Amino acid sequence: MPHNAQFLTDLQGGLIVSCQPVDDGPLDTIPAIVAFAQAARNGGARALRIEGADNVAAVARACDLPIIGIIKRDLPDSAVRITPFIDDVKALAAAGATVIAVDGTDRVRPVPVADLLAAIHAAGALAMADLATEAEARIASRLGFDILGTTMSGYTGGPVPAGPDLDFVAACRRLGGVVVAEGRYNTPAAAASAISAGASAVCVGSAITRTEHVTEWFRIAVDEAVSGSKATVLALDVGGTKTLAALVRNGKILERQTIKTPQGVGTDAWFSTIGLLASNWRGRYDAVGAAVTGVVQDGHWSALNPRTLAIPERTPLVQRLTTLFDAPAIALNDAQAAAWGEYRHGAGRARDMVFVTVSSGIGGGIVLQGRLLQGANGLAGSLGQIRGAPASERLEARASGFGMVASAAALGHAATTHEIFAGVENGLPWAVALLDEAVGDLAVALGDMQRLIDPQVVVLGGGIGMLPQFRDRLVARLLLEPSHLRPTIRPAVLGADAGIIGVADVSMARAHAAAERHSSF
């Protein structure tokens, strides 16, 4: 047992403060991190969680609290970020970390978890496993980790939950040993609930040391109070194959239903079918927002790619929806709506961001200086429509799901996208070459977009864009670019809900602005 095991006893019933400012933010400096650590000590914290060997060393010199040390890395071939290498373990131990935490999730990684654990104990430190599931916790417990952490729950796929995972805390407690509750403990009440659920200690980060996040929480609360906290939007997401309807309030989906997109888009029968989606919700919404494939200009809807959805030219969508649902309506391109959803509630929380969706087609949306761009003709962000080499061909025709299927057919393989990716998994040369070509085309387009717009982050979504086989290849390809020309890729977190959440936000904001203008006359 490591000589500092007394820490495990001292930690019981204590608070750990994670002193990790927002990356590249104004507080992301060693003096600021040291100041956070000293302030946490003065407030009664039992321990600190610090990222980076240099930061650990500086805090260890200035503060007498035990340190849980980590090193974060963005790897091209693995989603594991927390202390992935044995050299990271050695650097943290040398810097003075009492505990070294590693990602203990069941994912592709450069070094086995057992090897990292052995290196931590060999260095004389305690070992903490950052986990996402009960199955992973059982494995970590059997391996001999000194601390089980719930750190990764909700962060290894799918939408991130709003609250902490108390059930996971309880499951870890049943395994015995020391359990640290971590992940979305943003209020004192939430931290107390973790202790009640069986945690030995609670680790709190953003609510204490990420001023940008706390400011945003307050700003959103104020925005919601201004717009009316009980305002509900009927949000529609009309795609080429499915149509989703939902009641959305303050970024939360209250109810939903999905149907196959009706035939005869834009006809009276089509609008009647869409209207039936909300027949049981009459009187429960204040505004309507539609996220639709295609282009929206001045309330009129037209097709960008008729193969995806054959929309009659300049269908008066907003007017028809306003009449149909007897409520003020707006409409946005679905990728633009999803961009705003990810910006406000998902992975795109940066002043300047771009959302790119790769599925059957390719779409995109742009937020600059906190404003969603639609453009003079509703085309802003339409990455799939840009032309490359050959000049007559759109990016969507080469790098989308439809494009890859067409390319496979041209090679003599009548394959669906699912079969193409299965071929990649099985190492079929034609499938690998086809995927690499699609990824290469998208990488060039993203590089050009970085030069043109220079966003802080690019959020990648869509059924294909979220596949590890696709995303990992894209990130690896972009690493060939110079660092200042390389987009920073983040996976989307809202999934298929991004469009309805985004259009609901925009709809409520515009309804509020219209009411303000009316009341000022």
DSSP assignment of 98-126 equals SEEEEE-SSS--SS-HHHHHHHHHHTT-E
Take residue 210 and report the two structure tokens written for it. 């990420």
The band of 108, judged by pLDDT with boundaries at 50, 70 and 90, is very high
> Measured on CA atoms in the order 219, 223, 225, 231, is the torsion positive or negative?
negative
User: Residue 394: beta bridge partners?
Assistant: 387
Asked whether residue 384 carries a pLDDT value surpassing 80, the answer given is yes
Inter-axis angle of helices 211-227 and 498-519, nearest 10 = 50
The per-residue pLDDT for 212 is 87
Q: What is the pLDDT of the chain when averaged over all its residues?
A: 90
Domains of the chain: 6-209 (3.20.20.70), 233-336 (3.30.420.40), 347-493 (3.30.420.40)
Residue range 4-30: average pLDDT? Answer: 92
Higher pLDDT, 121 or 398: 121
What ranges make up the beta strands (E) of 303-359?
329-333, 353-358
Q: Mean pLDDT throughout 256-265? A: 90
* Residue with tokens 């429509």, as numbered in its chain: 385
Are 356 and 383 within 8 A, CB to CB?
yes
Tokens 């294909």 sit at which residue? 464
Residue whose token pair is 């790119």: 356
- How far is residue 153's CA from residue 104's CA, in Å, rounded to a whole number? 11
- The answer to whether the Cα torsion of 204, 87, 111, 174 is positive or negative is negative
Nearest-angstrom CA–CA distance, 309 and 334? 13
Task: Please determine, for residue 514, whether its predicted confidence score (pLDDT) is greater than 60.
Answer: no
Distance (Å, whole) CA 326 – CA 310: 26
What is the tens place of the pLDDT at every residue in 425-446?
Answer: 999 999 999 999 999 999 999 9
Taking residues 218-245, what's their average pLDDT? 79
Q: How far apart are CA 58 and CA 74, in angstroms?
A: 23
Greater confidence, 513 or 289?
A: 289
Average confidence (pLDDT) over 375-395: 82
What does the buried/exposed string (b/e) look like for 25-37 if buried means 16 or more CB atoms within 10 Å of the residue's CB?
eebeeeebbbbbb
In this structure, what token pair is assigned to residue 242? 């499915």
pLDDT band at 329 (very low <50, low <70, confident <90, very high): very high
- If you compute the radius of gyration of the chain from its CA atoms, what whole number of angstroms results? 25
Is the predicted pLDDT of residue 373 greater than 50, yes or no? yes
47 Cβ neighbours under 8 A, 6+ residues apart? 7, 11, 14, 16, 17, 65, 66, 67, 68, 98, 99, 201
What pLDDT is attached to residue 508?
A: 79
